[in-house]
Structure 1
Amino acid sequence: MSQASRKSESSAEPAVRVDKWLWAARFFKTRSLASTAVKGGKIEINGHKAKPSGSVRAGHQLRVTKGEVVFEIEVVDVSDKRGPASQAEALYVETEASRERRTERAAERRAARISMPRPTARPDKKQRRELRRFKHGD
């Protein structure tokens, strides 16, 4: 394959850096947070770990892990500019299975939070010292 044909292929399908795209699609509040997530192995493109300088094109499958939440999405459009949320939602389509898993996990977390005992009052000075000793092993 010659360089001329490679250039024509890449110009036909626009590509954007993955960290820029994640920021533009509003998965992360800042580009540096997106870049850190990519470096930390939280982003996969077509089943492979991504690099911050890696490219995203329309049709790519992404797996984005944010804390306990996992998004499996397909890139519909690319953009390196952050716009309104409605524009950001148009950049990707989340798979139905991913959406179902997220709602199930959210319901599980809600149920766990409800069943967890809550303290009736804030700890007093003695209890705070005991907690500090327990946590830090002093």
Structure 2
Amino acid sequence: MAVPENRPRPEPGHTEQSTVRVDSWIWSVRLAKTRSQAATACRGGHVRINDERAKPAQHVRVGDEVRVRQGERERIVVVKRLLSKRVGAPVAVECYLDNSPPPPPRVEAPAPAGLRDRGTGRPTKRERRQVDRLRGL
């Protein structure tokens, strides 16, 4: 009768493979909300592996540099661990080394002139003329 080995269990989502699809990995480490969004980003040219455009089915290995453009910001991460399943945020952060530049500071846009506060009612004739003068009408 065979006795089962007492091996340590791998962490959730951890894979023993040497490569994983890039769209799956981006989704697993929470750089994209859904796998289809990750695949769409790859097809649109927003994902690069080691400075080469990546297709969704392209494989990523430990040590690869992955660049993901998200709007105005570009995330630059180095793969430390491969995942095939989505994991929680604390585990996901341990799977890559983030070399991204800090995000630009958020600038509060000034309120546009001529807009009334919500619930203050309809402007009077005098206020409408002032608004028209401000707009140059």
TM-score (norm 2): 0.68
For structure 1, the residue ranges without an aligned partner over 5 or more in a row are: 1-11, 125-138
Q: Partner amino acid for 2:111?
A: P
Cα drift, residue 67 of structure 1: 0.8
Q: Partner amino acid for 1:50?
A: A
User: For residues 115 and 68 of structure 1, what CA distance do their matches in structure 2 show?
Assistant: 17
Structure with greater helix share of residues = 1
Paired residues for 1:1-138 under 5 Å: 14-95=18-99, 98-100=100-102, 102=103, 105=104, 107=105, 110-111=106-107, 114-118=108-112, 119-121=115-117
Max Rg structure: 2
Partner of 1:131: none
Partner of 1:133: none
Helix, strand or coil at the partner of 1:58: coil
For structure 2, the residue ranges without an aligned partner over 5 or more in a row are: 1-15, 123-137
Cα drift, residue 115 of structure 1: 3.8
Higher relative contact order (CA closer than 8 Å, sequence separation 6+): 2
TM-score (norm 1): 0.68
